[in-house]
Structure 1
């Protein structure tokens, strides 16, 4: 596996984006600046100062926090041109002083767009200037890169009757997980009838069937075998019948790892066989898991 160390390591003065684990802030990225870094108890901690969040009611004192390095990433690149967004395209929307990941569910008159947020199950309208293309920080590069000519994805051609897929849910207790299923029927309006492989109906008589749309379904990742995982690497962990994204917080042995889940602020130990490389389905392509700098420079 390639070394994720790159020029965007978080030195003093570096402008970054910051994620938070606090209730009401999860899922958003906020602009900030690195004040200093330090190591403590085998963790790489960073003191940051937010640009839009304040520590006082008068709004004159920027909030400062000491965070784990896994909660930071470089600033995404700016677009060189105005972008027109498309239905079902993943975007970041500027809302409540931060950037929140959502999906375009409506292209409206006047360069305005309806955006659905899976985390809160809200749909809000934004102007084009309040949106940006959603990007992932992957092995020292932004994906998709600036000005990349994206391929169009037609889900109905990728996921046909009988296809093995993964499905996510917006229901409480299931958000953030992907569950294996089989497409049993293609429906109009880019919807699919699926049968889950591990979730049963309320009567426990058969596997649950459900109608899902293109925002909640993706092809099944390949079963690529990973020799070992590394500290701070993003992984999917098999837990409660689904795959949940987490970060390797400690390597216990070659076959056992401690995994940290941002959404619940939990750490759980997993066997190698219950982990897989984290992949994101972006613009019709599987993208390798995000990485952060593995060493810090003062």
Structure 2
């Protein structure tokens, strides 16, 4: 815990290890900075537990500086202010009057927000914001009216994120999991058949406990997608580029934090807060399957 960053009265953001709140950042004020026990005591503006209840904060970071004005682009990674906290999403549509559709991977839903309720998504890595704020100064072209945080207009509007592709027996797919420890991971599977309200798939790289056959499981449509189209990277990946990394027979969503020599890269994984090194051939550009089409995150 960086004591100098968390003085008494400092505004910070914190996230919780609670179902339904993973991936959300809540605004809080430091009541007591970290001491020998390395604990920091916070007072939240909007998050309230039940009487006698408690919850666990898994990460604390400084509150990012507010950008008074900027524009947003298609496929750009953003944080959206919704239900009193900031949620990570990706812009999928630009409307008139500075309104944007944002897709949330965690909840598989899409909502409409005014620009004043959005900010560019950044990660706090090793004591600095990635991407740095100075890198986006040239793109600032929009200024909201006032600083009040608004509830998202049209927040009741939801769009289907289910796959629009019908899979045939033997087709290669990728599936995701909501199981703890596997958020942000995509498993390669083979489609077997329709199974009541779900679908039966067979893993390509995982077997049953006794190792005698490939593992089969049932998944719903929201956790299935086709194999993403291959995008050849002849030269190299760029710093801050969002990628999928092949690790332990699974694709994991991460961000290139360092470009090393000999076609090596350091990749940061926001869910586990880890950095690992990969060769060029074990990485691919990250793409999202949204409303039946592949969307690439933009790169500054």
TM range (shorter): 0.5 to 0.7
CA-to-aligned-CA distance 1:128-177 (integer Å, 9 cap, x gap): xxx82499979x9xxxxxx9xx9977636432222110011122322220
**Structure 1 pair 260/21, CA: closer, same or farther in 2 (3 Å)?**
farther
CA distance in 2, matches of 1:117, 1:289: 13
* 1:202 counterpart = 2:200: no
Alignment equivalent of 2:276, drawn from 262, 268, 272:
268
The 8 Å contact of residues 173 and 226 in structure 2, kept in 1 or not, is answered as yes
Q: 2:87 aligns with which of 70, 76, 99?
A: 99
- Residue 137 and residue 224 in structure 1: after superposition, are their counterparts in 2 closer, same or farther (change >3 A)? farther
Structure 2: runs of 5+ lacking an equivalent = 1-11, 32-41, 46-59, 74-79, 90-103, 122-138, 140-153
Q: Does 1:54 align with 2:29?
A: yes
Normalized per residue, the structure richer in strand is 1
Query: Which protein, 1 or 2, shows the higher relative CO under an 8 Å CA cutoff with sep ≥ 6?
Result: 1
Match of 1:213 in 2: 220
How do residues 252-263 of structure 1 correspond to structure 2 at under 5 angstroms? 252-253=260-261, 255-263=263-271
Counterpart residue number, 1:43: none
SS in 2 for 1:178: strand
Alpha-carbon distance change, 137 to 210 in structure 1, aligned in 2, over 3 angstroms: farther
Cα displacement (A) at 1:265: 0.9
Quickly say closer, same or farther: Cα 1:96–1:262, change in 2 above 3 A: same
User: How much is the aligned-residue C-alpha RMSD, in angstroms?
Assistant: 4.3
**1:180 and 2:188 matched:** yes
Distance 1:197 1:155 in 2: 21
TM-score of the two chains, using structure 2 as the length reference: 0.54
Which consecutive unaligned segments of at least 5 residues does structure 1 have? 1-17, 31-51, 69-73, 78-91, 102-115, 120-130, 141-146, 294-298
d(CA) in 2 for partners of 1:23, 1:245: 19
**Paired residues of 1:94 and 1:100 also in contact (CA < 8 A):** no
TM-score by length of 1: 0.55
Give the conservation status (yes or no) of the 8 Å contact 2:244–2:251.
yes
Q: 1:229 aligns with which of 228, 232, 237?
A: 237
Aligned counterpart, 1:245: 253
1:170 aligns with 2:166: no
Residues 176-203 of structure 1 deviation map (CA, whole Å, 9 limit, x = unaligned): 20010010112343x2110010111111
Distance verdict in 2 for CA 1:153–1:26, change over 3 Å: closer
Q: Does the 8 Å contact 1:161/1:185 carry over to 2?
A: yes
Asked if 1:27 corresponds to 2:35, the answer is: no
